[in-house]
Amino acid sequence: MASLPLALCAVSYALKAAGPPLAGGRELGPQARRALDLVSVPLLAALILVQTVGAAHDVVVDARVPALAVVAVLVWRRAPFLVVVLAAAGTAALLRVPLG
């Protein structure tokens, strides 16, 4: 069972190691650069969303979802990174405090 992740790690490492020698100092073309620029942000957003609300085969809505909403608003408003992290952590912590 553990052999598949190890094999995938080995393939990933080999591809990363082979990239610079195979590229030979060449730059990506403008179309490839634009495609990578367009794909990177939605891919990162999808990964964050899946890690936030995904639990096996269920959707879990807990204190992380409002914290992620706070992050989205603060990043949209271009708040400093430390402010974003502290606000998200504070939001999640306050929502997890038992009331009563």
Each residue's pLDDT tens digit, 17-71: 887 777 777 787 889 888 888 888 888 888 888 887 777 777 777 888 899 999 9
State the pLDDT at residue 1.
64
State the pLDDT at residue 92.
92
> Between 46 and 94, where is the model more confident?
94
The CA distance from 38 to 47, in Å, is: 15
State the pLDDT at residue 99.
63
Beta strands in 26-93 (DSSP E): 54-55, 58-59
* Sequence-separated (6 or more) residues with CB below 8 Å from residue 66: 91, 92, 95
Read off the DSSP letter of residue 93: H
> Between 99 and 87, where is the model more confident?
87
pTM score, whole prediction = 0.56
> Which tens digits make up the pLDDT trace of 68-87?
999 999 999 999 999 999 99
